[in-house]
Amino acid sequence: MIDFTLSEEQLMIQKLARDFAQKEVAPKIKDNDQKAFFDKNILTKMAELGILGLSIPTKYGGSGGDYISLGLACEELEYVDTSLRVILSVHIGLNSLTLLTWGTEEQKQKYLVPQGKGIKSATFALTEPNAGSDVVAIETKAKKDGNYWILNGEKMWISLADVADHFIIFAWTDQEKRKKRDHSGISCFIVERGLPGLTTATIHGKLGIRAGNTGSISMSDVRVPKENMLGQEGEGFKISMFALDQGRYTVAAGATGLVRACLDASVKYANERKTFGDVIGKHQLVKEMIADMATSYEIAHMLWLRAGWLKNTGQRSTKETSLAKMYACDASERASGNAVQTYGAYGYSDEYPVERFYRNCKGAVIYEGSREIHKLMQADYVLGYRIDKPTRCSLPTPEE
């Protein structure tokens, strides 16, 4: 039976993330955003608090906690700034949970343990200059050479590219299959910063998430030991889709937090600003915007909770996670637009955070499956063109 009453532990993690974001980040986020400054101290503080190890079992260096706790943390972090939640999306959602599910014991000891402790940070590199939604269009190649794979290619739009210590990188290992667009020719590799031939750079001039790091990775004859292949040769596409199921979950919960941030900011202003002799909250059309924010917050929250419950019970949640992600991201775009509208001209300046919310929301409507890709998925489910099997694509159930 689904019970959405939060446990003591879930409430504790929610409070931990909220207090951290409010005390450590909120006072300086406007400045960091304006300067497009990624504050590495934030990673250190998140590690100290165990936030970087959420949902990773303690035996692998993590702080434990179930998947709903992870969602709650994402909601609280994005309530303050999207850049904070992005850290959890790539470090935990896309990378660590993928290592936990697909890694060998040796890989877990070597890479997951330091990631769980937050000593090392991690990200996920699938997108390339010529391949985003169309994953099979990636061009990065890996060629076998004795006990190594030699990687060549470019990754683009990678969160934490210029910061992370560990990367999960996808590349074609079978060129014949590539010609036929047969995704069973793609494999996945664990790659460490510092390997000769690997360089990273930061993308400047982004619309939003300016306090976060987004960048590119170049690989020129990067020699990756064969034991760093994640999963079997040819399982890369399957692993990437598994990882996205977890990343999208964190995005859904985070975007829900952004809707709540827009709602709270709008309610406050609507009760202060007066026009035509009354506070604007008394005007029906302002109420309509606030009603939409309040309603979509509740829906978005329930949708990611359902996905979290499926994950907690070891069930596949691709469909439910996609729906939660699509709905919450659309809702956050609408809510932030309406929050700026509620503030009038003052929402149009950086005097209030709603301007930052409006810029920050857009990334998530594009990444981890754009709105259009999720619409296609949802339509394919109801049309019967897509049926998911309960495969290995299920997370381990959280430890007691």
Ligand X SMILES: Cc1cc2nc3c(=O)[nH]c(=O)nc-3n(C[C@H](O)[C@H](O)[C@H](O)COP(=O)(O)OP(=O)(O)OC[C@H]3O[C@@H](n4cnc5c(N)ncnc54)[C@H](O)[C@@H]3O)c2cc1C
Would you tell me which residues interact with ligand X (CB under 6 A)? 90, 123-127, 132-134, 157-159, 209, 214, 363, 366-368, 370, 372-373, 376
From CA 213, how far away is CA 110, in angstroms rounded? 25
What is the DSSP pairing of strand 122-125 with strand 166-172?
parallel
Alpha-carbon distance values, 56 to 100, 176, 395 (Å): 8, 38, 11
Residue 363 beta carbon to ligand X: minimum distance, rounded to whole angstroms: 4
Residue 293 beta carbon to ligand X: minimum distance, rounded to whole angstroms: 23
Check if the beta carbon of residue 100 is closer than 8 Å to that of residue 168: no
Catalytic residue among 78, 320, 333, 368: 368
Residue 235 beta carbon to ligand X: minimum distance, rounded to whole angstroms: 17
Phi and psi torsions of 152, nearest 5°: -135, 130
In the residue annotation, 368 being an active-site residue is answered as yes
Residues in the chain: 400
Residue 196 beta carbon to ligand X: minimum distance, rounded to whole angstroms: 23
**Residue 266 in tokens:** 């709008």
Half-sphere exposure of 351 (CA within 13 A, CB side): 9
Nearer to ligand X by C-beta: 99 or 280?
Answer: 99
Residue 125 beta carbon to ligand X: minimum distance, rounded to whole angstroms: 5
Nearer to ligand X by C-beta: 21 or 209?
Answer: 209
Nearer to ligand X by C-beta: 57 or 132?
Answer: 132
Nearer to ligand X by C-beta: 127 or 256?
Answer: 127
From CA 67, how far away is CA 50, in angstroms rounded? 15
Nearer to ligand X by C-beta: 282 or 375?
Answer: 375
**Residue 384 in tokens:** 């019967």
Nearer to ligand X by C-beta: 112 or 168?
Answer: 168
What is the DSSP pairing of strand 229-230 with strand 166-172?
unpaired
Residues 6+ apart with CB under 8 A from 203: 157, 214, 215, 216
User: In terms of Cα–Cα distance, which of 122, 21, 16, 104 is closest to 64?
Assistant: 16
Q: CB under 8 Å, gap of 24 or more: what pairs does 366-373 form?
A: 367/157, 367/251, 368/89, 368/244, 368/247, 368/248, 368/251, 368/325, 369/133, 369/244, 369/248, 369/322, 369/325, 369/326, 370/132, 370/133, 371/326, 371/329, 371/330, 372/133, 373/133
Residue 37 beta carbon to ligand X: minimum distance, rounded to whole angstroms: 16
State the residue number with the nearest CB to ligand X: 132
The catalytic residue positions are 368
